[in-house]
């Protein structure tokens, strides 16, 4: 057994509205108990169902007995039964989130709404927190009716939405808890574990009440709360403090770390390729020697002589300034003319 009592996060504002919500839950349950006991004490003798079929019961008594059975199936009796979710009435849609079937469900709601609600209320502000709390409860009621669920009460749908927003705002923050087993001790545990325990409690409570559809409805409200909070963070409607890390920031950080690791891996791979290339022996290929050969030819000084052959086959070389002039071949003494360029 444990009781979470504080979230390790700075509070921007006092969560006054969440305190009021907790107080209203307790007050409404007290009214349920008092009005139910008062109705039993004032019930006329004719409303008690007779085990003997032969005895005639007035019509009004039969109607009261039938109404009593329906209220007992809902888990709420007396005047407060008009706020049970059992149709599309406004009273049931908004009233069922303040009712509880028994003291165990009430204590569970109070235990989990205290840390999660205080943290979310402080971050959103009192007005927006109340608005979203009611909207989550209304969404849960509408979903329950759309999926064909029976009569239902409880604040679990609204609390599920608040828990979803908490995970978006404070995914890494720890929650201080009182543990009573095996001996009293105070410990700080991750918010993920407290959320998991909340869902376990919610599922067990839903199964015990016979409302299996409520499990899916509560999970849906949780996802809606998570999505709304992430949208608020993206639009900067909610700003985290410097020492706080939201779910969005945590995901971005992980993405940056992955990109950094990939970049380092690529750099290491490129470094290994460069090192291997440096160790490789240099080979001068044809492609590399061709430019050098052309460059050498370009740098070679221009030839200032004209070379030609005589009819006898002797090679004659004369300066370019003698182009077009005639002279004798040194070998055969014939007259030859130097070609012009």
**Entry pTM:** 0.67
How far is the C-alpha of 152 from the C-alpha of 259, rounded, in Å? 49
DSSP E strand boundaries for 101-231? 174-179, 185-190
Nearest CA to 83 out of 19, 25, 146 is that of 25
Q: Return the domain boundaries, the chain.
A: 2-250, 302-341
Distance CA 37, CA 42 (A): 9
Q: Classify the C-alpha dihedral 100-103-108-109 as positive or negative.
A: positive
**What CATH superfamily is the domain 2-250?**
Rhomboid-like (1.20.1540.10)
pLDDT band at 225 (very low <50, low <70, confident <90, very high): very high
Q: How confident is the model at residue 70 (pLDDT cuts 50, 70, 90)?
A: very low
Rounded to an integer, the average pLDDT of 87-110 is 91
Average pLDDT along the chain? 79
Q: What pLDDT was estimated at residue 243?
A: 75
Interatomic CA distance for residues 153 and 209, integer angstroms: 10
Model confidence at 73: pLDDT above 50: no
Flag whether pLDDT at 54 surpasses 60.
no
For the cut 60, the answer to whether the pLDDT of residue 105 exceeds it is yes
What average pLDDT does range 69-89 have in this prediction? 75
For residue 199, pLDDT over 50 is answered with yes
Strands 315-319 and 326-328 turn out to be: unpaired
What pLDDT digit, counting tens, does each position of 270-322 carry? 777 666 666 666 554 444 455 656 665 555 556 677 788 888 888 887 777 77
Q: How far is CA 234 from CA 126, 238, 244, in A?
A: 21, 8, 15
Return the bridge partners of 327, or none.
Answer: 336
Here the tokens at position 260 are 């950094």
Burial label for 8, CB within 10 Å (0-12, 13-18, 19+), is middle
């Amino acid at each position: 057994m444990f009781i979470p009592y504080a979230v390790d996060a700075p509070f921007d504002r006092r969560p006054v509205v969440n305190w009021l919500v907790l107080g209203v839950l307790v007050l409404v349950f007290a009214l349920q108990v008092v009005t139910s006991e008062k109705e039993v004490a004032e019930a006329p003798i004719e409303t008690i169902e007779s085990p003997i079929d032969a005895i005639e019961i007035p019509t009004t008594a039969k109607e009261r007995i039938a109404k009593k059975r329906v209220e007992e199936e809902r888990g709420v009796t007396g005047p407060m039964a008009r706020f049970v979710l059992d149709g599309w009435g406004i009273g049931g849609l908004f009233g069922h989130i303040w009712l509880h079937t028994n003291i165990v469900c009430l204590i569970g709601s109070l235990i989990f709404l205290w840390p999660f609600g205080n943290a979310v209320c402080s971050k959103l502000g009192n007005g927006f927190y109340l608005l979203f709390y009611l909207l989550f409860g209304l969404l849960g009621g509408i979903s329950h009716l759309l999926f064909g669920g029976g009569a239902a009460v409880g604040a679990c749908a609204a609390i599920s939405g608040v828990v979803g927003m908490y995970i978006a705002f404070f995914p890494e923050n720890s929650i201080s808890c009182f543990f009573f087993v095996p001996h009293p001790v105070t410990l700080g545990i991750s918010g993920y574990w407290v959320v998991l325990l909340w869902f376990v409690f919610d599922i067990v409570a839903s199964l015990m009440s016979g409302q299996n559809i409520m499990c899916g409805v509560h999970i849906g409200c949780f996802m809606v709360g998570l999505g709304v909070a992430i949208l608020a963070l993206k639009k900067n409607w909610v700003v985290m403090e410097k020492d706080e890390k939201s779910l969005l920031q945590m995901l971005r950080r992980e993405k940056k770390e992955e990109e950094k690791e990939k970049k380092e891996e690529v750099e290491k791979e490129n470094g290994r390729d460069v090192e291997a290339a440096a160790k490789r022996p240099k080979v001068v290929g044809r492609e590399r020697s061709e430019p050098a050969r052309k460059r050498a030819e370009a740098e070679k000084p221009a030839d200032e002589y004209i070379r030609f052959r005589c009819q006898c086959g002797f090679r004659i070389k004369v300066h370019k300034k003698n182009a077009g002039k005639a002279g004798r071949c040194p070998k055969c003494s014939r007259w030859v003319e130097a070609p012009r360029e």
